[in-house]
Amino acid sequence: MTPFKIISLIIVFSIQFFNQGFAHYDFKVRYGDSQYVMNELIYIFGVGIVPILEESILDNRALFGGYCDPYSVSWKQSTAEQENSQIVWVSDKPLEVCKRGISELKNQPIATPSTLRTAWSYKICELITSDNKYISYALEHHKIKDTSNEPEQLLKVYKLFYPAKDEDIDLLENLRKMKIDNLMNWPLIFRTLCASEQWQRI
């Protein structure tokens, strides 16, 4: 190969590299931001899960995207609001606070999906669905009964995660098979639905 050919090849590869490096467009898969994810989970499982969200999402807000407001109030307003060393959630809108300070203002409104986000999402769902009190809250609050009309009850749970979407019949059928002693295995069903990030997609 002559030097001329080698130089030509280098130029061609450089141009290709250059073109790729300066793509005119890109696309981000759209997942709801941190606030959206927290609001959805609180709607389903109740405000009791806030300590879990605080340690998972608020500590990693950049992963989930969405702005926060350093001038908003924190639910850790004063020691008077702590009982037996447990933080008591006293505000109905506590989730806007920038837990990591003013630099969080530069979080992107929409975060790119990432392995870390997926891992945190799974961990959150695992923590919530491992605790019976949150499952009981969801069943009771959303009037899901254990024994009657399984497809109807399953659909209710499905709609908690996908309120506007048509039902996924295959998924519902698979969920219906999740039973222990002929009773629905609600923790597993909730975990299965919760852990799939598809419900976060908007």
Site for other proteins contains 60 (CB under 8 A):
no
Site for other proteins contains 70 (CB under 8 A):
yes
Phi and psi dihedrals of 61, rounded to 5? Answer: -60, -35
The residue within the footprint of other proteins, chosen from 93, 143, 170, 181 (CB under 8 A), is: 93
Rounded CA separation 42/138 (Å): 10
Helix (H, G, I), strand (E, B) or coil at 199: helix
Site for other proteins contains 103 (CB under 8 A):
yes
Q: Which two tokens stand for residue 7?
A: 């130089």
Site for other proteins contains 15 (CB under 8 A):
no
Judged by beta carbon, residue 160 or residue 184, the one nearer other proteins is: 160
111-170: contacts with other proteins (CB under 8 A):
163-166
Judged by beta carbon, residue 144 or residue 184, the one nearer other proteins is: 144
Stretch that binds other proteins, among 102-110, 124-132, 137-145, 169-177 (CB under 8 A): 102-110
Which residues are CB-contacts of 155 (< 8 A; sequence separation ≥ 6)?
A: 167, 172
Site for other proteins contains 73 (CB under 8 A):
yes
Judged by beta carbon, residue 3 or residue 101, the one nearer other proteins is: 101
Q: Which of 92, 14, 95 is nearest to 56 (CA)?
A: 95
Rounded CA separation 134/48 (Å): 7
Judged by beta carbon, residue 4 or residue 27, the one nearer other proteins is: 27
Site for other proteins contains 69 (CB under 8 A):
yes
Rounded CA separation 113/109 (Å): 13
